[in-house]
Each structure stands twice: as structure tokens, then as C-alpha cells.
Amino acid sequence: MAEAFLFNIADRIICILGSSVLQEVGLFWNVKDELARIKSTISTVRAVLLDAEDQKTRNHAVRDWLEKLKDAVFEADDLLDDFSTEALRREVMTRNKKAKKVSIFLSKSNPVAYGLKMGHKIKKIRKELDAIAEDRMKFHFTERTNEKQVQNRERQHTYSFVREEEVIGREAEKTALIDFLLESEDVEDNVSVIPIVGIGGLGKTTLAQLVYNDEIIQNHFELKLWVCVFDNFELKNIVEKIVGIPTNSEMEQLQKDLRKKIKGKRYLLVLDDVWNENRDMWFKLKSLLMDGAKGSKVIITTRIEMVAKITGTISPFYLQGLDEYKSWALFTRMSFEKGEEPKNGDDLIAIGKEIVTKCAGVPLAIRTIGSLLYFKSSENDWLYFKNNDLSKINPQDNTIFSILKLSYDQLPSYLKNCFAYCSLLPKDHIIQREKLIQLCMAQGFIQSLDEDRCLEDVGQEYFMALYWRSFFQDIERDIYGDISWCKMHDLIHDLAQFVAGNECTIGNVKGENISIRTRHVSVGFSLDSSWRIPTPMVKANKLRTFLLPFHKPAYPNEVELNRPVYDLLISSFKCLRMLDLHGLNNVSLPDSIGLLKHLRYLDLSENRKIEMLPRSISNLHNLQTLKLSWCERLKELPRDIRKMTRLRHLELDVCYSLTHMPRGLGLLTSLQTLTTFVLDKKNGSSSKICGGISELSGINDLRGSFAIEGLKHLRCNIAEVKAANIIEKRFLKSLTLGWGRMKVGEDNDQDAAAKDELLLEGLQPHSKLKSLKLICFGGVRFSGWLSSLSNLVQIDISDCHKLQHLPPLHQLPYLESVDLSNMRSLEYIDNDGSEEELSSSSQPQLFFPSLKRLTLRWMHNLRGWWRKRRTDETAAADKQHNRVLIATFPCLSEIEIHCCPNLTYMPLYPHVEKFSCHEVSEKILRQLLQQSPTITAGRQADTLQASSLSHSPLLRLRSLDISNIDDLEYFPTEWLPNPNSLQDLTFNRCHRLKSLSLIVQHFTALHQLVAFNCDKLNLSNDELDGDYGMLWKELRCLNTLAFRHLPKMVSLPEGLQYVTALQHLKISDCDNLLT
């Protein structure tokens, strides 16, 4: 991967040397000419890097030349970073960036000795680079500036034929694809396009071949065409292949021939191995394919999801790996004689199954290794394949790797760097998107030619480019729809390790796999307090990354590195850009950490004992990311934090002991992440050492989540809240406003309530905000600006004990989650609105059109949704005019109601799939499950009646969790209109519950049944004598059965032997159970 790293660093050096500040400084230090020569030399060698990379696999001398060049370029990069850091340090010292950019270097703070030292080093590295550049002449390299899409001449062309009996495990995929190809109804265009997407080696081409040669397909299509595209997506070339006759004709004639060939015919065209991401080029081809008959189909196979997005007319067909059974069947065929397991080969079979697991369901990997093992009968040979990653196999035997590497070869160098860097992460590791971007930024892999372009946005483009090309998979999206996590396929991880070479290494305990040229190390084992830095790692003194294990140690409190380890770490690795010291539980850090002047990324999170950071940390002028989350005892941030002008990410989640923000934080205007801002307890305003809320005035590029804590301390300085300028922070996704717990007597302080309402009014966020959390707000009314947050997806309001009035939320178009908890004064969700407004004859209003999750907890006085309910007369009129009778949540799928004992009225929620109900009465539980609302809000709770106006049963309910219903004795079947839909049922702390006999037989789809802490529940025989055992026979899907603390149960339920699907039986604290 020398070419990728070298390209990246060479470009960065050229950019740095071209900056005006460095040129002026070079002039004053009398090294301007030397710097210019370095720039020229690096530009010269950069031009031949692509050709050198091609030749290195065939020429050891070229490989050695590249290694020398890489060492020299890295050294030059470190030297120039030192140069730039000194310039930045002096700039920070003067604080007059414009007037003193140059003059500071003539001041007394600029020792002559430093200039002489730098001049000597620059001259030395210039001579070294010149000598290496001169050596290039002996290799006769060709200059190439275009690095995109390296051609691989060894790529074999595909064809349409395949023997179906040789393919294992793709029957279901073949059937699904054929079903699509036979569809011709409801198709707008004559031609439909379905992309098959997956990593190399999964069998995309094989699946297309199976379908192409199927007899049904043969009879259905009048014309079938197969074109292997690969990297030559040139319109003329493809049309020539479709027409089927090599010709020198002009494009005009070719397009006529193509249209004539397909005109009026229902055809099937397979475009195999497509890499083209040029949308315009695809549309030009598609326009020539539109003359076929209705029902014509195009299959495209590709590794790149962006290709599928551009070409597909329907959702892509994502090809998955083979399951364990099919993988073993394929491996058996390829590796054992006659394709059968050997009779006396138990040891080989056991090893083989572990090898198959490493192949991760990829057929080509299974075939490749199986074919190699066919000729190897010794256990040692098989163990070699079991104990080594695929990247260690001889490249000449490694077909799968050459296939996978095609995807890597197509990447531009900046993506190659980011991909190879992922080799530091363990296999099957959950990769955080934001963290990966920050790590790549720290190494300088992410660059932008546009100074106004945010590097994080560029990093997001890099990430998505790798995702679209199938280098990442198993993505998880957050509530806003953005990718937050992903994984890397095991074989893709092997590829990353292969291309990274000795540049990136997951170190073992003794550091044996670390060389002096290793620059990025992650620790691949659990640390303990006895750990010492191994000698090979110490010798790798040019390390730029030191990454700790990602898994938690068994006893985290025992992991505490000794001070000598810290001292050696800092003194040995002065070139570090990234240092990870998370989860070490140290009480303090050494002051010497401030000597790591190249550091961009420092992770100190989860050091739960640390109370103070060394002041020297403010000397890390290049630091971009500082992670301090879960440092629960940390009291304050460095007072000179204003010096860290390049800080972009400051993470402070769960730093409960922070007392204030340091004064000068507002000067860090590059901040993109500031998770928490703590106001001083004294008055919340600025002081000599404390920064007030006005520090936020100029930090307007904040992204992600942001929380302000201790707002109650601002009650004496309400005017200052406007200075926070929250409304200008347009990139924020989530905002949390916390006032802090009320003291005794504050509940009745009306003046405090009025002040809190004024404070909230001044904290209006930008309308793009997607999540809002309000904690311990002391006002009676919410600010009106909430209704203007039209992009809101989530709202959480908790511990606001005086709050009586919420603004209307039902019209927010994207609101998906509402969580309201612990509000003693709230009686109605919409205290000022009316149910009748929703059924207005002139313009019916939307009612929570996107809401999916609703949580109502610990609100003892909550009575219902509206104070103003529909009257009987109005309801009758509505029914007569066919208007909406009762408000209904159209999308609600999850609802939790916890300790709301006076709740008497709820809108309908017919689509709920997950229902949790805790600490209410049996009557309210019945009402909620049957959705039989009371007719008027004014009636007493003990006269609950079912409304005759509307009834909407829970037909989709999948999960039901019932706990702390003290008066529940039985659970009648009629409470659940569709018990056959239920898959998960839990009872907990229902102390009067006696029996489940009334419902057991109806849960035919139940997968899990849990009963905890139900003092009177006896499942042993229940009350139906001999018939009870037969009722359990109906639980034919029950997979898991769990009992805990059921004192009445003396034996397992009779009939349990009929539950044939049961796999997990968990029993604990059932003291009277007879074994």
C-alpha cells in the first residue's frame, strides 16, 4: 500500500509547502529555497508512483526503492508538521494572527537556535529526497498522473454457461429472481432493470448464469444476451457486444443495428460485472434498450451499490453468503474425495468446519480453499489454513484474494488509505462511522481542496463511497436515518490487512508482528496492570497510531498502567497522531503528554478515577479530537483550553462531576462536537476562570448532540441566555436542555417558574433540529417555538413537575418518538386543544402522521389526551357526516404506559406491535388493550365504559409486557382480539395472578413466555385437570420459557412435553419446585 500512503502524504506536503505562511517563515529562517526544492522533488517522485507500484510486485529493487522513499517522505512530513506546529504555537501566543504572522518569528520568543536546528534538518531531508529521486532514473518509470481505476489485465471475461449441478445453495435466490423476470404486469417502461449486489466471490455471476440457462426463462424470452462489462463501460464497446458482431461501424450504425435486433422482442440482457458510476453514460445505453417488447428485463451484477442505485428500476437484489449447512456441503464436495465426508476423518472434519466458518459464507473462498485442501491429507496442512487469515495464503493459489483485490484496485488513493486503516479494527467489530472519520482525519487521510468545505463532510463522502462499494455491511441507522454503525465482512477485513502490509498491525502480546516500519498499531489483547511495552514496539519509534483493545477487560478496575509505561509510551512515540488511553482507570496523566505535538486524536474516555487533566494538555495545538466521556470524577477542563484552536471534537458525555466550562472555550470556533456545556453553580455567568453561556455565541458549527446543564443557575442572568445564539446552530441534530434537580421548596417558587419560561424562550433552536430533550424545566407552559420545529423526529420531556401545558405536537410531520415522564402537574397531553378540531368538516388535521413510539411514565395525575372531549351530540354529528370519530395514531407501533393510574382516555392505536403496561389497575389495562375509550373525560375512572362510536382492536400485536398490575388475577382471551399474532408475552410482579389457563391454548404463534415474581401463579396443573396438559400442545412455536420466583409452582406444567419447538427453559428462584 506504499503508493496509497505516499500519494496522500506527498499531496499534503505539496499543499503545506505552497501555503503563504510557511513560505514567509521559510524566508525569515533562510530555508525558503530548501523548502522549494523539497516541493519540487516530491512532485517529481509523485508522478512515477503509480508505475512504481505496478512494478514492485515483479521487481524487488523497485520495492526497496519505494520503502526508502516512504521512510523519507514520512520523515519530511513529520519535520514540516513540526515546522507548522511551531508557527501555530507562536500564533496562539500572540493572538494577533494577521499582523504578526511573520513578525513573531523575529521576536525574542523565536530563539535563533531553533531556526538553525530546523534549517539543518530541512537540508538533510532535502538531500535524502534528492538522492532517492535520482535513483528513480535506473527503473525508467513512466509518469502517470491519473490514479483512478488501475487496470487489471488478468481479469477473466465471464460467459453465460454454467452446470447447475455444480452450484450449491442458490435455489431460493434463483427462484426469487426468476419470479421477477416472469413478471410483466404493472410495468411502466418496456424494460425493467434488477441489479444483483454483493462483494466479490459471493456468486453474483453464477446466480445470473443459473437464471439465464433455466428452461422456463428460455421459453419466456424471445432473445437472450450476455455481456461481460468489467471496467470498460464504453457505450460503443457495449453496443458492439450486444449486437454480437465486431465491427468498425460508426456509433450511428451500431445504434440502428441494436434497436433493430431487439425491436418488438421480449428480451433478457445480462450486463455482468458493472463498475460504471457515470449516470449519464448509463442513461445513454438505456435509451437504446427501450425498443424491446413489454416485459423485457436487464440483470446487472455489481459490487457497487451506487451502480445499483443508478441503474435499477426496482430495489436491488442483495446477495448474501451461504448458510452454515450449505457452506459445509460445498466445502465437502470440493475438499474430500468423492465429495463425501471421510469415514475415519473426524479430526479433519472438525478442522474443516472451522475453516468453513472463516470463509464467512463466500462460495469462491470455500471453493478456493477446498480445492487446495483436496490435495492435502495431513492434519498439519489443514491446521495451517485454519490458523491463518486468507491473506497469508500463497497469492498464486489465492483466487478469492485476486478477485477481492479488484475492488481495492479501483479505489482512488485517499479511499485506499481509509480502507487499509480499518485493518486495525478487530474482525466482526462494530465500526462507528463518526469515530472512523475522526481517526482518518487525524492521520491526514481526509483532505479538501476547498478551504470552506468541512472535513467531516468530506469524510462522510469517503465513508459512503466505501459503503457503496460493499467494503462495509450490516449497517445500523439512528433515529434520524443516518448510518451510525457498520461492520466489515471477514474476507474484506483480510483484504484490508493484506493491502496494509506492515504499515498497520494488530499487535500481539510480545509485539512479534511489529516491525520498525510499522506506523499504526492496535493492541489485540486484553491489558492488565502488569503489561509492559514490548521491545519490538519500542523500536517502531515512528508510530502514528496507538489503539487500545476494543473489548472490555474482565476486571476493568485492575487495568491501571504504571507511570513508567506512560513515560516510555510518550518518550518513544513522539510522532503519534492518534493515542488511545481509554478505560485505564488511572488517577492522573503525566505532564509529558503535552510533548506529543503532532497529536490529533486523544481518547481518555472511561477513565473513571481521573479528576484533573494536566495543564500541559493545552500545548497540544494540533489536537482535533479529545474524548473524555465517562470520566465521571473529572471536575474541570484545562484552563488554557483556548490555546487548542484546532480542536473540533470535545466529547464530555456522563462527566457528572464537571463544575463549569473554562473561560475562553468560545475561542474554539472550529468545534464540530461539544456534547455537554455545564454552567457554573454560582450564577451561571462568566468569571475569571469560568465560562458563561455566552461562550457559545460564536460556536455555530456544532453538529450531532449538544446538552446544556445547570440552566437553573441562569435565573439571575436571564438576559445572558440570548447570547448563547442557539438558533444559529443550524447543524445540530439533538439538543438537551437541563435545569438540574429542584431543591426543597423550589416547587412552589412562582418566580422561578416565570424565569424558567423566559429562559426557555431564549433558547429557541434552529428549525432543522431533529431531537429535543427537556429535563427539570420549572415552568408551567412550554414555549410556543416547539410547534415551529417542523423537522423534529424525537421529543423527550422528563421531571418537569410544574408543567401543565404542552404545545400541540400532533401536526409535526416527522415526529417518530414521544417520551413523557415524571410530570406531576400534567393532566392532559393537549390541555389547550380539542378532539373536535381533528374532525373539522372544512379541513381535517393530521394526527401524529409519523409517530412510531409513545412512552408515558410516572405521571400520576395524567387523565387523558384532551381536556375538551367530544360531546355525545358532536360525536353523533360526526358519525352522520362520515367524519373521523376518534383520533387514531396511523403509524404507532410501540407504546409503553408506566404508572399512570388515573389515565382514562387515549386515542386509538390499531397498528401497535409492542405494548408495555406497568403499574396501572386491571380496569385500565383492559381498557388499553381493548381500546374502548370512555365517552367523556368527566366520568369517574371506576365507571369505565366502552364507546359505541368506534372500536379498533390490536390485530398486529407481537409483544406484550405486563408488570405490577396488583389486582390482576386472570387474563381473559377477549382482551386480545387476535391472540394468534402474539409472539412474546411477559408477566412480572403481578402478585395476584393465579392462572394462564384461559389463554394458553390461543397463543399458537407464541415464541417466548416469561413469568417473573408472580406470587400466586401456579403453572403446574392450573385448574383444568387433565385438559390443561393438552392446552400446552397448542404452543407449537414456543421457543423460550422462563420462570423466576414463582413460589406456588411445585412442578413443571403438565403437557410441556408437547411443546416440541422448545429450545430454552430457564428456571430460577422457584424454591418449591420439585426436581
**Is 510 domain-assigned?**
no
42 and 13 in contact (C-beta within 8 Å)? Answer: yes
Q: What is the mean pLDDT of residues 102-125?
A: 68
Same domain for 248 and 292: yes
Is 865 a residue whose pLDDT tops 70? yes
pLDDT in the model for residue 247: 65
CATH number at residue 487: 1.10.10
pLDDT in the model for residue 350: 92
CATH number at residue 275: 3.40.50.300
Same domain for 1037 and 999: yes
68 and 74 in contact (C-beta within 8 Å)? Answer: no
**What is the percent of the chain with per-residue pLDDT over 70, rounded to a whole number?**
87
pLDDT in the model for residue 292: 92
Same domain for 328 and 294: no
Torsion of CA 998, 1002, 1007, 1011, to 10 degrees: -10
**Is 156 domain-assigned?**
no
Is 1025 a residue whose pLDDT tops 80? no
Same domain for 1004 and 965: yes
Number of domains observed in the structure of the chain: 5
Same domain for 474 and 445: yes
Structural domain span for residue 369: 324-401
**Is 636 domain-assigned?**
no
b/e code 927-964 from CB counts within 10 Å (16+ = b): bbbbbbbbbebeeeeeebeebeebbbebeebbbbbbbb
Is 891 a residue whose pLDDT tops 80? yes
Q: Which residue has the higher pLDDT, 986 or 365?
A: 986
pLDDT digits (tens, 9 = 90+) for 321-345: 999 999 999 999 999 988 888 887 8
Domain end (from 254, 286, 318)? 318
Same domain for 433 and 329: no
b/e code 117-138 from CB counts within 10 Å (16+ = b): ebeebbeebbebbbebbeebee
Top-ranked range on mean pLDDT: pick from 14-23, 194-203, 387-396:
194-203
Give the containing element (helix H, strand E) for 926.
Answer: helix 922-930
Same domain for 388 and 424: no
Q: Which residues pair with 986 in a beta bridge?
A: 961, 1010
Pairing of strands 1064-1068, 1040-1044: parallel
Q: Mean pLDDT lowest for which of 66-80, 102-116, 226-240, 372-386?
A: 102-116
Domain end (from 318, 348, 365)? 318
Same domain for 449 and 305: no
Same domain for 223 and 311: yes
DSSP code per residue over 113-150: HHHHHHHHHHHHHHHHHHHHHHHGGGGTPPP----SS-
pLDDT in the model for residue 150: 44
pLDDT in the model for residue 1038: 94
Same domain for 1026 and 967: yes
Q: What is the DSSP letter of 908?
A: B
Interhelix angle 413-421/2-17, nearest 10 degrees = 120
**Is 236 domain-assigned?**
yes
Top-ranked range on mean pLDDT: pick from 43-47, 441-445, 750-754, 837-841:
441-445
The phi, psi pair for 603, rounded to 5°, reads -110, 110
**Is 40 domain-assigned?**
yes
Maximum Cα–Cα distance across the chain: 101
pLDDT digits (tens, 9 = 90+) for 257-306: 999 999 999 999 999 999 988 899 999 999 999 999 999 999 999 999 99
**Is 113 domain-assigned?**
yes
Domain end (from 251, 286, 318)? 318
**Is 706 domain-assigned?**
no
Same domain for 388 and 422: no
Give the containing element (helix H, strand E) for 39.
Answer: helix 32-46
**Is 459 domain-assigned?**
yes
Of 654, 683, 679, nearest to 665 by C-alpha is 679
Same domain for 251 and 211: yes
Collapsed DSSP state (helix, strand, coil) of residue 958: coil
222 and 228 in contact (C-beta within 8 Å)? Answer: no
pLDDT in the model for residue 217: 95
Label residue 161 exposed, middle or buried (CB < 10 Å: 0-12, 13-18, 19+).
exposed
Average pLDDT, the chain: 86
pLDDT in the model for residue 152: 44
Q: How many CB atoms lie within 10 A of CB 162?
A: 18
Tell me the three-class secondary structure of 146-213, residue by residue: CCCCCCCCCCCCCCCCCCHHHCCCCHHHHHHHHHHHHCCCCCCCCEEEEEEECCCCCCHHHHHHHHHC
556, 581, 657, 769, 810 from 609: Cα distances, Å: 12, 13, 11, 35, 46
Is 206 a residue whose pLDDT tops 70? yes
